[in-house]
Structure 1
Amino acid sequence: MELPPLKTLPVFEAVARLRSFSLAAQELHVSQSAVSHQIRQLEGFLGETLFHRAGRQIRLTDEGAQYYEQIGSALGQIRRATQQLQGQQDSQIRLAAYSSFAVSWLIPRMEELQRQHPQLDLDLEMLSDLPRMSDRVGDCFIAINPKQRGYSSELLYSEKMFPVCSRRYWQQICRDLQEQGLITEPEPEQLQPGHLKQYTLLSATSIFEKKNEDWRRWLARASLTISPATRIQHFSHMLLAHEAARHHQGIALSNDYMFDSGDAELVRLPCHILDTGDEFHFAYKTSRRHEPAIRLLKQWLITQAVQSGLRSP
């Protein structure tokens, strides 16, 4: 089958990636009219419209997005193969990760990554919800339960949730429960889960995508239900509930990557844990598994997960 005009492909990739004819022209050091001409030539050859144009705004059509998925990957492989043949190593890598994991666990460790591997140029993309994994989104991903054809992964963390609150809020809980005769020690080593229902529970819908579901499941683990009198404050994301707990507004459900045992402001309550069934993995294209940057980042993440207690050695 006849190949498309090869000089049009890098132009198409740049426009699709940057979502702009003018930015693509600047990157390629050509005029905007030259970019437009190359795109028209490619569309004419394919017999498909690749972009929707509305003034200065452009977006890929469904056919354009499908084509970009393949062309972007192919051009990336050509670039990397050329660099390897020339004895160069591509140290640039794009990592897409969930915002809570990135903010709470990854970003605090990035200084150590830069110290250990200064040659690695990491671009971090934070995601609220992981789309279909592809080269368009990132070179690698921190994803929950990834099962996508053509991708391999390494387990970093099996999520377990437990209640936390501010130290001030915890001290108030202990005083209340002592006055009610429910505990005898100033700070008990074990707390009955049902005692928490008289306090404000901070619920994050992002965990199970349903209001109250996080606390419903946690209480059900102890054969309890949410009482009608229990006050529940709702948040869209775990990060928000976690911060509300830090500011003495109630009790939130946290996990190992968000909770820092050395944090003097937050207390992990002495109660049971809930295994959510979610597993966080470092995922990457199987065909790219031997690339130095991906191998280096994978090993560093595994090492950090083990050292921080997220993953067993």
Structure 2
Amino acid sequence: MQLPPLGSIRFFEATARLLSVKLAAEELHVTPGAVTQQVHKLEEFLGCALFERRSRALSLTEAGRTYFAACQESLGVLDRATSKITASRQVILVSCTPTFAAQWLVPRLQQFLGTAPEVDVHVSTTHRKVDLAREGVHFAVRHGLGSYPGLVSRLLLDDDLIPVCGPRLIAPRRSAAQADITSERLLHDSRRDDWQLWAQAAGMHELDANQGVVFVDSNATIEAAVAGHGVALVRRSLVEAELASRRLIAIKAPPLRATLAYYLVYREQTLEQPAMQKFFDWITWLASTHRPRADTAP
């Protein structure tokens, strides 16, 4: 039996389905370089090219199309066989950003799993807006205005943004004031305009929001603040654990009302399955406990 390097099949299938090394890497939680290496390994084994590589796009060669169809058929057989064996357990696939997963969802997820031992929750982290139907995602958490055509959305978190810093930044003092927020200390995520909006609302017109370090991922912004490298403007609900343990300190300064919110997004038919309804009830109830009192009042 002549079998290809089986590990490479998964990388090839994702790349062929998405026609993007970058998107395949995000889905598989590896680097684009790792995807490219595995695809080349498979091409070397087969002795032919599977992709036509252009400057800005990928397309399958004739051999690639034939092999992709065979891979999908084979993986489908394995998936169905696996599903029969594991039919007693329901898998819920949740897509969200790395920050939401690490700072809010995963630390609380054990609570849900303790009440639903028959359910497995798989968390897929990406900044990409996934196609729920095509990619088999049951729920997605999106940061936006809440309007997603063809999908149902439910508000999760819309609490204020607050300025925070690590104890090292203000040592030996144990509390921080608005005066501790200076231009060179600003830590930004990809939404750099948040600090500008905060400065206008707080009346700190001398604050230059163009200064400071910019991070692509909010997790890095939070960790930089914990390490004492500056001041971050973050949603309180995402740093509750750090505030409780005093790894972060809330600065005595006005909060900023967030223009965007986190929404749970799903297809209407998803809640027809009892396990999905159970997860939906849990996460929406949990989120409601983190909203301002005015939002949860009858």
Q: What TM-score, normalized to structure 1?
A: 0.62
- Determine the C-alpha separation between the residues in 2 that align with 1:15 and 1:237: 25
2:219 is the counterpart of 1:220 = no
Whether 1:139 aligns to 2:138 is yes
- Write the deviation string for residues 63-120 of structure 1: whole angstroms up to 9, x where unpaired: x9xxx9xxxxxx9xxx9xxx9xxxx887222111121111101111122221111111
Q: Taking structure 1 as reference, are residues 246 and 296 closer, same or farther at Cα in structure 2, changes over 3 Å only?
A: same
Between the aligned residues of both structures, percent identity stands at 17
1:239 aligned onto 2:219: yes
> Looking at CA atoms only, which structure, 1 or 2, has the larger radius of gyration?
1
Amino acid at match of 1:312: T
Q: Which residue of 2 aligns with 1:53?
A: 61
Quick check: 1:95–1:141 contact (8 Å CA) kept in 2?
yes
Structure with bigger strand share is 1
8 Å Cα contact 1:98-1:130 kept in structure 2: no
Provide structure 1 residue ranges, at least 5 long, that are not aligned to the other structure. 1-13, 22-50, 69-74, 175-185
Question: Does 2:258 correspond to 1:259?
Answer: no
Residue number in structure 2 paired with 1:122: 121
Change (3 A) 1:161 1:57: farther
Contact persistence 2:199–2:207 (CA under 8 A): no
Post-superposition CA distance 1:142-176 (Å, at most 9, x none): 1123423331122111142111011121335x5xx
What's the CA shift for 1:288? Answer: 2.7
**Is the contact between residue 95 and residue 139 of structure 2 (CA under 8 Å) also seen in structure 1?**
yes
The 1-side partners of 2:179 and 2:11 are apart by 57
CA RMSD between the two structures = 3.7
**Offset of 1:53 from its aligned partner?**
3.4
DSSP-derived class of the 1:224 partner:
coil
The DSSP-based 3-state class of the residue aligned with 1:109 is helix
* Structure-to-structure mapping, 1:249-288, within 5 angstroms: 249-260=229-240, 261-288=243-270
Q: Which letter maps to 2:106?
A: I
Look up the SS of the partner of 2:160 in the other structure. strand
Q: Name the SS for the 2:202 alignment partner.
A: coil
Deviation at 1:228, TM superposition (A): 5.4
Provide closer, same or farther for how the CA distance between residues 283 and 273 of structure 1 changes in structure 2, counting only shifts above 3 A: same
Alpha carbons of 1:229 and 1:157: their partners in 2 closer, same or farther (altered >3 Å)?
Answer: closer
Question: Within the alignment, does 1:150 sit opposite 2:150 as a pair?
Answer: yes
- Structure 1 contact 170–267 (Cα < 8 Å) conserved: no
Specify whether residues 133 and 223 from structure 1 end up closer, same or farther in structure 2 by C-alpha distance, changes over 3 A only.
Answer: farther
- Matched-pair contact (CA < 8 Å) for 1:197–1:227: yes
Normalised to the residue count of structure 2, the TM-score between the two structures is 0.64
Query: How many residues are matched?
Result: 229
Structure 1 residues 276 and 54 mapped into 2: Cα distance closer, same or farther (>3 Å)? farther
| In 2, Cα distance between equivalents of 1:59 and 1:148 | 35
Structure 2 distance, partners of 1:58, 1:272, is 60
State the match for 1:110 in structure 2.
109
User: Contact 1:154/1:283 (CA < 8 Å) preserved in 2?
Assistant: yes
Q: Is residue 291 from structure 1 mapped to residue 261 from structure 2 by the alignment? A: no
Q: Which amino acid aligns with 1:196?
A: I
Deviation, structure 1 residue 15: 11
Counterpart residue number, 1:101: 100
